[in-house]
């Protein structure tokens, strides 16, 4: 079947999509957007998180056909032109990236949080990122990065 949706503001289509094919597979393998990562393919790790109509989802659990006619935003679509999104800058500044495998999903999830909640508490941040697993960083630098980006956004909305 043919599937079409908007990705990072661009209309995209994919042909010969199998009914059971995931949105993650279509993004990575058919649309040339490998930022979203495939780690568990079971909705457990969050490395494949994208925004579907503005809501974070595990794209490994979404059938590509479910995205028909909708808006998808991936980690590749967070930057504003040539400039990294504030959450991306904060991750770099805080050293919140090690192997980087979890990073795209964390960035999408954290970006969504600071858009929705101007001054998130630590509990808000932990709850928002609870579905995103990282094997490397111990999470402290990730939390620091989200705090930094949220504070900057609150000061310059």
CA distances from 64 to 24, 35, 48, 88, 129 (A): 8, 17, 13, 27, 24
Smallest distance, Å, CB 134 to ligand FES?
3
Smallest distance, Å, CB 119 to ligand FES?
25
Site for ligand FES in 120-139 (CB under 6 A): 134-137
> Site size for ligand FES, by CB under 6 A?
22
Closest CA to 48 of 69, 27, 32, 64: 27
- Quick check: 38 binds ligand FES (CB under 6 A)? yes
C-beta of 118 vs 138, nearer to ligand FES: 138
Of the candidate spans 25-33, 35-43, 68-76, 117-125, the one that interacts with ligand FES by CB under 6 A turns out to be 35-43
Smallest distance, Å, CB 157 to ligand FES?
29
Burial class for 106, CB neighbours closer than 10 Å (0-12, 13-18, 19+): buried
Name the site residues for ligand FES (rule: CB under 6 A).
38-41, 43-48, 58, 60, 97-102, 134-137
């Amino acid at each position: 079947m043919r599937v079409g949706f908007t990705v990072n503001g661009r209309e995209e289509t994919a042909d010969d999509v199998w009914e059971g094919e995931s949105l993650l597979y279509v993004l990575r393998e058919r649309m040339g957007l490998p930022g979203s990562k495939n780690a568990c393919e079971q909705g457990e790790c969050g490395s494949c998180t994208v925004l579907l109509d503005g809501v974070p989802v595990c794209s490994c659990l979404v059938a590509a056909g479910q995205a028909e006619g909708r808006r998808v935003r991936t980690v590749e679509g967070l930057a504003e032109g040539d400039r990294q999104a504030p959450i991306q800058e904060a991750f770099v500044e805080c050293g919140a990236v090690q192997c980087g495998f979890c990073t795209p999903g964390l960035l999408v999830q954290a970006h969504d949080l600071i858009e929705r909640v101007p001054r998130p508490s630590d509990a808000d941040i932990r709850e928002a990122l609870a579905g995103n697993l990282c094997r490397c960083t111990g999470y402290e630098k990730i939390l620091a990065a989200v705090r930094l980006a949220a504070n900057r956004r609150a000061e310059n909305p």
